[in-house]
Amino acid sequence: MEYTHLGRLGVQVSRLCLGTMNFGPQTTEPNSFAIMDLALEAGINFLDTANVYGWKTGEGVTEQIVGRWLAQGGGRRDKVVLATKVYGGMSKEEWPNFNKLSALNIRRACEGSLRRLQTDHIDLYQMHHVDRGAPWDEIWQAMEQLVREGKVLYVGSSNFAGWHIARCNETADRRHLLGLASEQCLYNLTARESELEVIPACEGYGMGVIPWSPLGGGLLGGALKKPSKGRRGSERIRDRIEKHRDQLEAYEKLCADLGEDPANVALAWLLANPMVTAPIIGPRTAQQLKDSLRAVEISLEHAAMGTLDEIFPGPGGPAPEAYAW
């Protein structure tokens, strides 16, 4: 496994980040444990979750699974850079202040995540979405207190626009704080809008970029040749396949010519971007994780990168040059 710094920071993380969103809803606890054990054996030290994962409101099912895995010991907690998120609602009834990014909810949500994860600190605490109703000073006051107490080491964002990244970091700088360590954004061959504002903002502030949905919801994983069942068989996925069929046919032909699995080519394309820290892979099985490890070894040549740009054109580079003089 290869490692890199998380943006400008000293902490090092693996070039693949293990996403846990399937743990609970799609993958049983024993199989989730097996996947995390295998990831650690393969050198993956970056693990991402969220308080809302598990999709049973207020229960934090996935965090609980991760917590029970960490509690087994064997150096698991010390070896892992543990990331989770705050924003989503965690109350089983409609009640104010049990979601979003008020100082009140940030503190409550952090305590809940610590309890479920069975740990005394979160390495990377990420805001799952921007909260337009909470001032940045309030958010940083809450985060600063958690850092002071040793409950959080680094703060990250997710699904932020470039403007939000700038405002958030400028507020942190004014308060003499470290600011954002990373941004977790939607980024893959079929969704390249982040190249306009988000990735340039991350570069400007020295932040790591952690792409989620690197396979485009399964489209880039060999969708044309795999059986249409489960998630891929849903009407929404079938409609997306038909919408992108010409592109996918060209893409899967390129992958076949390269002798590589389409999913790994999609990951390798992201890893070739010097701004990308680690794409989030979300395996449902141990075999899917094993297959993904190949991506780190793939070095796409200039011609292949050019062909990928032709098949899946980006927005034209960073803004404003992409749409203005």
Mean pLDDT, rounded, for 203-208: 98
Asked if the structure places residue 325 within a domain, the reply is no
Q: Is the pLDDT of residue 6 over 80?
A: yes
Structure tokens belonging to residue 42 = 């393969």
- pLDDT at position 232 is 45
- Domain holding 167: CATH number? 3.20.20.100
Respond yes or no on whether the N-terminal peptide bond of residue 283 is cis (omega within 30° of 0).
no
Asked if the structure places residue 235 within a domain, the reply is no
Beta-carbon-side half-sphere exposure of residue 125 (alpha carbons within 13 Å) = 30
Q: Is the pLDDT of residue 49 over 70?
A: yes
Count of structural domains, the chain:
1
Please list, in sequence order, all residues whose beta carbon lies within 8 angstroms of the beta carbon of residue 184, skipping any fewer than 6 positions away: 48, 126, 156, 157, 158, 159, 210, 211, 212, 280
Asked if the structure places residue 193 within a domain, the reply is yes
Q: Is the pLDDT of residue 55 over 80?
A: yes
- pLDDT at position 312 is 98
What percent of the chain stands above pLDDT 90? Answer: 92
SS3 85: strand
Asked if the structure places residue 109 within a domain, the reply is yes
* Dihedral pair phi/psi, residue 82, rounded to 5°: -95, 125
Asked if the structure places residue 120 within a domain, the reply is yes
What percent of the chain stands above pLDDT 70? Answer: 98
- pLDDT at position 316 is 94
Do 176 and 170 meet the contact criterion of CB atoms below 8 Å apart?
no
How many other CB atoms are there within 10 angstroms of residue 325's CB atom?
4
* DSSP H or E segment with residue 302: helix 302-311
DSSP classification of residue 276: B
Which of 53, 87, 205, 251 is catalytic? The answer is 53
- pLDDT at position 228 is 56
What is the distance between the terminal CA atoms of the chain, rounded to a whole angstrom? 42
3-state percent helix, strand, coil for the chain, nearest multiple of 5: 45, 15, 40
Asked if the structure places residue 197 within a domain, the reply is yes
Per-residue pLDDT tens digits for 231-269: 545 788 889 999 999 999 999 999 999 999 999 999 999
Mean pLDDT, rounded, for 285-314: 97
pLDDT band at 128 (very low <50, low <70, confident <90, very high): very high
Task: Read off the amino acid at residue 301.
Answer: E
Q: Is the pLDDT of residue 230 over 70?
A: no
Asked if the structure places residue 249 within a domain, the reply is no
Angle (CA) 56-58-64 rounded to 5° is 75
* DSSP H or E segment with residue 81: strand 81-86
How many other CB atoms are there within 10 angstroms of residue 258's CB atom?
17
Q: Higher pLDDT residue, 131 or 233?
A: 131
53 is catalytic: yes
Average per-residue pLDDT for the chain: 95
Asked if the structure places residue 231 within a domain, the reply is no
Per-residue pLDDT tens digits for 167-178: 999 999 999 999
Per-residue pLDDT tens digits for 193-202: 999 999 999 9
Q: Is the pLDDT of residue 227 over 70?
A: no
Domain that holds residue 267: 3-218+262-307
